[in-house]
Amino acid sequence: MGERAPHNRFYRNGPDHLSREPVDFVHVRRRFDFRSIEIGRWVTRAEREAAAGHFYNALCDLMLILQGPESLISLRGTLSLQYGTGGRPGVSAHYSPATRSFALAKNAGPGSIAHEWFHAFDHHMGSKAFSGLGHNVFASGAWLNEARPVIHPLNALLFACFEAVLLSEDGSQPRASASVDERQGVFYYSRPEELCARAFEAFVQDAAIKNGFLVKGTRATREAELGLYPQGAQRARCNAAFGRYFHALGRALYRQQPV
């Protein structure tokens, strides 16, 4: 019997980026200029074809939400993508600073793109928004640790995002994630890079363009009930800060593109 394509179970309401043309991962790499794309050996041809279309739509939708060009998505061609390979036991998706790549498991990974992409972006900006730091530093952690910033209007807008996420209006740090870490005996949810990636997920999910392959779970999930995503007034502050930053960043990147 021939391979059957997986059912399209990911809701989206964005524009038709595929134009009824078949898209594979070669198209994805060329469109966004990823450094490399690796597909796992256990991903079937039908799964590969379906995933390529989902990735293409999700990344195009993210580009529209962020109001930036393709170079933003691939972080100027420095980012690699893995699908169905490079995973870790019990982990559906992860970003590797050492290889500057993000990996999604073929079954459990979809919906994690926004989270892992922001980890990559946060890492990418560490050595650009701050001076005197190594290459494995995340910008969010550097900001919280009061590293020496690179003075620039765009960086000021990025730092405003970190402030909205990592500090409450009274200047204290949010407690929900720290409480979960204390109960589980780990230091994970309250790390600045995790807090910022989850806030970015919320920003993307709250956008007018919806895509379940790109992001899901920031509202009606157990993690949301535990307060691991921004809520209420803080969520609104984070969304506004991210919106201002990426609007300005996108305009700057478009101006730099050749005519």
Q: What total of structural domains would you count in the chain?
A: 2
Domain boundary residue among 113, 130, 149?
A: 113
Range of the domain at 243: 119-256
The residue type at 199: A
The answer on 248 and 188 residing in a single domain is yes
Position 104 pLDDT exceeds 50:
yes
For 256, other C-beta atoms within 10 Å of its C-beta total 8
Question: Angle formed by the axes of helices 113-129 and 192-205, to 10°?
Answer: 130
Dihedral angle over CA of 134, 245, 34, 191, nearest 10: 50
- The confidence score (pLDDT) of residue 7 equals 40
The answer on 138 and 103 residing in a single domain is no
The answer on 163 and 90 residing in a single domain is no
The answer on 104 and 71 residing in a single domain is yes
Q: Do the domain assignments include residue 194?
A: yes
The answer on 167 and 101 residing in a single domain is no
The answer on 245 and 138 residing in a single domain is yes
Q: The sheet that has 80-83: what strands, in order across it?
A: 36-39, 80-83, 101-104, 93-96
Q: Do the domain assignments include residue 95?
A: yes
Position 22 pLDDT exceeds 60:
yes
Domain boundary residue among 113, 132, 158?
A: 113
Cα separation, 236 vs 227, in Å, equals: 15
Q: Do the domain assignments include residue 39?
A: yes
Position 99 pLDDT exceeds 90:
yes
Question: How confident is the model over 57-79, as pLDDT tens digits?
Answer: 999 999 999 999 999 999 999 99
Domain boundary residue among 75, 91, 113?
A: 113
Residue keyed to tokens 């800060």: 241
Position 41 pLDDT exceeds 70:
yes
Phi-psi region of 15 (alpha: psi -120 to 50; beta: other; left: phi over 0): beta
The answer on 159 and 244 residing in a single domain is yes
- Residue pair 5/50 in contact (Cβ under 8 Å)? The answer is yes
Position 112 pLDDT exceeds 50:
yes
Residue 88 pLDDT level (bands cut at 50, 70, 90) = low
pTM of the model: 0.91
For residues 198-216, average pLDDT: 96
- The confidence score (pLDDT) of residue 14 equals 86
CA distances for 110 relative to 93, 104, 127, 248, angstroms: 8, 7, 29, 29
Q: Do the domain assignments include residue 12?
A: no
The answer on 177 and 130 residing in a single domain is yes
The answer on 244 and 124 residing in a single domain is yes
Q: Which residue has the higher pLDDT, 204 or 8?
A: 204
The answer on 37 and 134 residing in a single domain is no
The answer on 56 and 77 residing in a single domain is yes
Q: Do the domain assignments include residue 231?
A: yes
- The confidence score (pLDDT) of residue 16 equals 84
Position 147 pLDDT exceeds 90:
yes
Average per-residue pLDDT for the chain? 89
